[in-house]
Chain A
Amino acid sequence: MSPDNVSVLVIDENRIRASIIEAGLADSGYQNVTLVHDMDGVAEHIESTHPDVIVIDLENPNRDMLEQLFVLTRSVQRPIAMFVDNSDRDVMEAAIDAGVSAYVVDGLKQDRVKPILDMAITRFKAYSRMARELEDARNELADRKLIDQAKGILMQSRGIGEDEAYRMLRTTAMNQNRKISEIAQSLITASSLIDVTGEAK
């Protein structure tokens, strides 16, 4: 059985991650890959596409439902076992660490399944890293905006330059053992309170 005739079903509510896995599988020569994002109708999908391997993310609350489907279809369809092989504990651990689980049709040779699971593990990890980096970048941008705003307040109220305003924030942060963005946030909050009081006069 060459890669192109192993059929893989990827169940992932996260469309971006599912596409990343699909692309990875396609690069390795797996042409018969189906993506499912919604659990409704997944039973029909399994019935009609007869997947040899099913990949599902661990965040998906419907794993229990999926496993029940295998029990139900066992008598009429091909039996589906979980994971590669009970003996390959390292792969199972790596999969669970990465947040992915896989089910394979009983009898499918381990050397046929392992590359698929390895691929899923790698892509899941890559996705997590990407998501984390994106989150970091977002936070950094938000911090940058806060600091710029705080610098503006200092420059205006103290009549100082931008560099000096930044140095003041930095020195205060160091003295208080806090992040510059936190000092900036405090300054913005305090300043808005004072402004409001000013208007009320």
Chain B
Amino acid sequence: MTVRDLFPVHAGFLPLLDSALLVVAANCGFAEAQGIDLRLTRETSWANIRDRMAVGHFEVAHMLAPMPIAAALGFSPMPLDLIAPMALGTGGNAVTVSNDLHREMTIEDAGPMLDPITSGIALARVIKDRKSDKNRKPVFAVVHPYSGHNYELRYWLAANGIVPDRDVDLVIVPPPLMADALRAGRIDGYCVGEPWNSLAVNMGVGRIVTTKSRIWRGSPEKVLGVSVTFANHHPEILDRLLCALVLAAQWCGNKDNHDELANLLSGRDYIGIDALHMLPALDGTLSGKEVNSDENVPRGNGAFFEPLEQAATFPWKSHALWFYSQMVRWGQVIWNPDHVKQVANVYRPDLYRAALSTLDIPLPSAASKVEGALKEMTPVGSVKGRLFLGPDGFFDGQVFDPDAIEEYIALQNRS
């Protein structure tokens, strides 16, 4: 097949490790094998991704999982109809703090780092100690208000008795500038996707204190945002694109390919920093230096970043609804029962299942699940093959039942 016969699909992405599925699909023949010429454009902000989707420069994009939901709720300057027919893996983020803040946390007996309980309690003590001095209120950065980073950081803080909007200042910083902002002392910590945590550790300017996978095991992070117009006009192309991305995910998950993947991602057109900063996230030895051994977990829900196993690319409606619950919790939107259906309809497991029916991959038969219900690895109903999920869930033991979202929000508001 010559390039002329391929169907061009334009995709925007930000320089982050979890753009891997798109980068691999475009570079390792997976898109081409499906008859697609996948043209990637690196963008500098999520706002650019959103706006260029709105004017039709991109048909699909690497997106923060809450972005299509925010668009559906009208938080977009231009009309923007998006769906999320696929997730781009689970996990992949971490919380990094400055060396100074890390030292203070260590004095407060942070214990084994990366553990969201001990590090959270230590941070709470530091904040209490600092309270007498207004100038020492810690500043934490996240990448976007409608992001998994914002919600998981706030979740972690709140579960440790830290009130995000009172006890810390939360600001927005673009991922590639995080480590510099930390070094310059403009921020004291941040929550961002890899490799921008490992970069700070390798530069010697920060330390990782916990990870997204520890705060919520198997939690959603990026999705493939798809323009509704494109999905309606070219359903077969979208099917083939989803197949290409899932096969790319399979390739990314094979550890024999990790060196090649790290080198590919380090290319100038992609992440553009040395491959050594990519490897910790890929092989699960996240750069906590001496404290990294307990992050050596097997593949699946507990992995730091999981591209495929345990339905990591399945767009669970319960994930969409959890993000909505957090938008309400932090005052970004006022609770409205009518939103529930609207939000759930943005994530499209039906399209995912239909597109992948030709591949030999087990597909969950449910569209939604109770998050945090599985205490151990459990077989679940699947369309074909055997599928195991779990253990999953939040570090504080809370359970999110998407059918009881209002109660969940009420409970969180009380705490």
Contact = CB atoms under 8 A, between A and B. Distances in A.
- The answer to whether A and B belong to the same complex is yes
Interface of A: 40, 58-65, 67-68, 71, 81-83, 86, 89, 92-93, 96-97, 101
A83 B77 contact: yes
Contacts of A92: 51, 54-55, 78
B73 to A, nearest CB: 14
A59 B43 CA distance: 8
A112 B44 CA distance: 29
B369 interface: no
Nearest to B181: A40
Contacts of A59: 44
B55 to A, nearest CB: 5
A61 B144 CA distance: 12
Interface string B189-222: 0000000000000000000000000000000000
When A and B form their complex, which 7 residue pairs have the shortest distance between CB atoms, in order from nearest? A82-B77, A61-B174, A63-B47, A65-B172, A63-B45, A61-B44, A68-B172
B343 interface: no
B2 to A, nearest CB: 20
Interface of B: 44-48, 51-52, 54-55, 57, 77-79, 143-145, 171-174, 176-177, 186
B55 A64 contact: no
Contact of B143 (A60, A64, A83, A96): A64
A71 B44 CA distance: 20
Contacts of B54: 92
Nearest to B47: A63
A41 B54 CA distance: 30
B51 A96 contact: yes
Contact of B55 (A40, A61, A96): A96
A96 B57 CA distance: 9
A59 B174 CA distance: 12
B144 A64 contact: yes
Given A64-B172, A83-B77, 10 more contacts: A60-B45, A61-B176, A61-B177, A62-B45, A64-B144, A64-B174, A68-B171, A81-B77, A86-B79, A92-B55
Contacts of B172: 64-65, 68
A62 B141 CA distance: 13
